[in-house]
């Protein structure tokens, strides 16, 4: 084989036109000698050292040479594959080590996922449903139903809720005609809503009772459903979260313009009367109030008013931010903290960066996450000397900075903590006789002004009656999964 391989090289060199014969192993380099009696030259042979070599191409095993080339190429491919396998294995081990380190770090710095808990899936579905709504044009009743139904594991019927709402509004329209209220006046519609929620009355031969304030567990610490509109409708009692929401749901169906507004630990309704004056509706006491009574709480700073976290009419987008906040709050009460809370609260803050309730939940989340990390690292965060050890853990420092920054933002927004006893005292002060009297005077004044405006509109219509237009009834698409 070696000889054949040598011959092949010789021929290849010959083809390339190399004149010198290489010194190949096994074939000595021929040295021609002078022959005094040279034989006559023949076209078929050449004399070298008295040896006759044929001038034709030598025969060699082409198939064997090809096999050797293939074998050589195969060995190269195997070697390359082995190198790649070694490289891939190194990458795999590196990735595996990274994932293990990441998993270990997640266990230290992050809340464990609660998504496997019974009913948690309903919250993820609720988040997706809220995300599908138009930020500036959606049904308040639908958004609130989505939030509350998540807590009930999606077992409530939206069709039933919508039917109840429509039936109530139908009765309110009849009552407006009975009382000779102007059905086109926004002020009259809001006055009707106020009377319905705060006064006993007969509607179509049925006795209706005013809503009552539920003083028992009004913060929903023991039973989160105490804050729900569902509970208010079923029990006839609620608190400062459910009452204003129910008002807005009915107002939307009635076609009345009204807004949600906040005060420390509190929410209430605002609307504009016929004289373009803002009226505050305090449903917890069944009274009309003014801004001065809200300010009397003593916990509203000028910064809070400048940043519009209190006493500001919420837009639909800002109200949707609060629905996301309520969704996160319900999840916390039912399960606790995990990444779902982080995702949901961040969505709320995206819609309304100054939402004070969303900022507070985010602050609580950040603090709780930092404390979890400290517990896992064996550091007491309330011991100043021990706390210095977090310098060895950059991620822990990052979490602490996040918590501090959120606290700073809340303070800069103008928030001041209001103790429960101060809140309860403030609500009680609203019931003072002089405040009740002012409320009655405001209601009477609105009634007189509305009647006057109604008369003026009626006279104007006689002079130039409007062209009748066909109005399409309001429709609400009910998702199949809710039926």
Q: What is the pLDDT of residues 167-185, one digit of tens each?
A: 999 999 999 999 999 998 9
3-state SS, residue 469: coil
Comparing C-alpha atoms, which of 415, 379, 374, 121 is closest to residue 264? 415
Confidence at residue 99, expressed as pLDDT on a 0 to 100 scale: 61
Low-confidence ranges of the chain (pLDDT < 70): 1-63, 94-103, 465-483
Angle, helix 158-178 to helix 242-254, in steps of 10 degrees: 70
Confidence at residue 322, expressed as pLDDT on a 0 to 100 scale: 98
Confidence at residue 98, expressed as pLDDT on a 0 to 100 scale: 61
Q: From CA 118, how far away is CA 133, in angstroms rounded?
A: 26
| Tokens (6 digits) for 286 | 């069944």
Confidence at residue 76, expressed as pLDDT on a 0 to 100 scale: 85
Confidence at residue 27, expressed as pLDDT on a 0 to 100 scale: 38
Confidence at residue 296, expressed as pLDDT on a 0 to 100 scale: 87
Q: From CA 270, how far away is CA 272, in angstroms rounded?
A: 7
Query: Where does residue 461 rank: exposed (0-12), middle (13-18), buried (19+ CB within 10 A)?
Result: exposed
Token pair 């006759």 in the structure block, residue? 52
Q: Beta strands 266-272 and 287-289: pairing type?
A: unpaired
Token pair 């959606």 in the structure block, residue? 138
> What is the four-CA torsion angle of 283, 284, 288, 292, rounded to 10 degrees?
-130
Q: What is the pLDDT of residues 339-391, one digit of tens each?
A: 999 999 999 999 999 999 999 999 999 999 999 999 999 999 999 999 999 99
> What is the overall mean pLDDT for the chain?
84
> Using an 8 Å Cβ cutoff, are 262 and 312 in contact?
yes
DSSP string, 339-396: HHHHHHHHHHHHH-TT-HHHHHHHHHHHHHHHHHHHHHHT--TTSHHHHGGGGG-HHH
């Amino acid at each position: 084989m070696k000889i054949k391989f040598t011959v092949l090289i010789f021929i290849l060199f010959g083809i390339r036109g190399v004149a010198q014969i290489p010194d190949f192993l096994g074939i000595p380099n021929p040295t021609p000698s002078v022959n005094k009696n040279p034989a006559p030259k023949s076209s078929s042979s050449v004399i070298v050292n008295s040896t006759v070599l044929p001038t034709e191409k030598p025969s060699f095993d082409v198939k064997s040479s090809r096999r050797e080339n293939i074998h050589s190429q195969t060995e190269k491919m195997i070697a390359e594959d082995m190198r790649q396998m070694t490289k891939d294995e190194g990458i795999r081990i590196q990735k595996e080590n990274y994932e293990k380190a990441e998993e270990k770090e997640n266990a230290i710095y992050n809340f464990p996922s609660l998504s496997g808990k019974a009913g948690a899936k309903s919250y993820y579905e609720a988040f997706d449903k809220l995300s599908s709504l138009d930020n500036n044009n959606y049904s308040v009743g639908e958004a609130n139903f989505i939030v509350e139904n998540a807590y009930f594991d999606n077992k409530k019927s939206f069709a039933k809720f919508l039917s109840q709402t429509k039936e109530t509004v139908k009765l309110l329209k009849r009552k407006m005609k009975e009382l000779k209220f102007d059905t086109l006046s926004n002020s009259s519609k809001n006055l009707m809503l106020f009377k319905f929620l705060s006064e006993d009355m007969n509607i179509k031969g049925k006795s209706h009772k005013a809503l009552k304030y539920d003083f028992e567990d009004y913060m929903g610490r023991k039973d989160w459903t105490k804050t729900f509109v569902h509970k208010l409708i079923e029990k006839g009692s609620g608190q400062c979260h459910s009452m204003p929401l129910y008002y807005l749901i009915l107002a939307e169906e009635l076609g009345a313009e009204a807004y949600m507004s906040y005060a420390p630990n509190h929410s209430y309704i605002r609307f504009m009367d016929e004289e373009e004056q803002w009226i505050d509706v305090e449903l917890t006491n069944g009274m009309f109030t003014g801004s001065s009574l809200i300010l009397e709480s003593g916990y509203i700073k000028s910064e809070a008013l400048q940043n519009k976290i209190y006493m500001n009419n919420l837009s639909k987008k800002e109200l949707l931010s609060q629905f996301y906040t309520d969704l996160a709050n319900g999840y916390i009460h039912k399960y606790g903290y995990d990444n779902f809370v982080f995702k949901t609260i961040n969505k709320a803050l995206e819609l309304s960066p100054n939402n004070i309730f969303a900022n507070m939940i985010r602050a609580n989340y950040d603090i709780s996450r930092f404390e979890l990390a400290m517990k896992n690292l064996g550091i007491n965060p309330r011991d100043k000397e021990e706390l210095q050890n977090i310098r060895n853990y950059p991620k822990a420092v990052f979490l602490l900075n996040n918590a501090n920054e959120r606290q700073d933002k809340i303070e800069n927004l103008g928030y001041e903590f209001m103790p429960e006893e101060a809140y309860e005292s403030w609500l009680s002060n609203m019931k003072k006789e002089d405040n009740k009297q002012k409320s009655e005077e405001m209601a009477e004044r609105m009634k007189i002004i509305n009647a006057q405006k109604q008369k003026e509109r009626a006279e104007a219509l006689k002079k130039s009656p409007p062209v009748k237009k066909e109005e399409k009834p309001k429709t609400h698409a009910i998702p199949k999964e809710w039926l």
